[in-house]
Amino acid sequence: MSVDTGAQVGLFTGRHVLAELEGVEPGLLDDEQYLREVLHNALSESDATVCQMIAKRFDPQGVTVLALLSESHASLHTYPEDGSIFIDVFTCGHTAKPELAVQLLAEALKPTSQNVQTIQRGHDYAELVC
């Protein structure tokens, strides 16, 4: 998976950002349309290319939103009864900014606490990209 940005493409490298947000207003976590919009906006503003999004609202509550990206994928899994959400954003290459996407999601959801970690995956080809 790669996006032609004029730089070398097809590099086996990426960043995987995993986040857990807590203390989020439960109504936001049960609003499928809102979650679709904030995820799409966050990904677009972080230079990721959204190819397709799907979502599922669960009964009695909870939403999962998945975004297929040219650079890889992103997902949201909500637990309104607990005011919590799992966020997963993985992007290959060096164009997209998954950390920014998670930061923008956190700004939109306004959690009282958050745990965010970034995992470098593949090989580090940063020195090859100008």
Give tens-digit pLDDT for 38-97: 999 999 999 999 999 999 999 999 999 999 999 999 999 999 999 999 999 999 998 999
The two tokens of residue 86 are 């799992």
Q: Is the pLDDT of residue 127 over 60?
A: no
Q: What is the pLDDT of residue 4?
A: 43
Q: Are the C-beta atoms of 20 and 115 separated by less than 8 Å?
A: yes
* 113 classed as catalytic: no
Q: Is the pLDDT of residue 8 over 70?
A: no
Edge-to-edge strand list for the sheet holding 13-22: 50-57, 63-69, 72-79, 84-92, 13-22, 113-122
* 2 classed as catalytic: no
* 75 classed as catalytic: no
Higher pLDDT, 127 or 70: 70
Q: Is the pLDDT of residue 1 over 60?
A: no
User: pTM for this one?
Assistant: 0.89
Pick the catalytic residue: 16, 72, 84, 94? 72
Pick the catalytic residue: 92, 94, 123, 130? 92
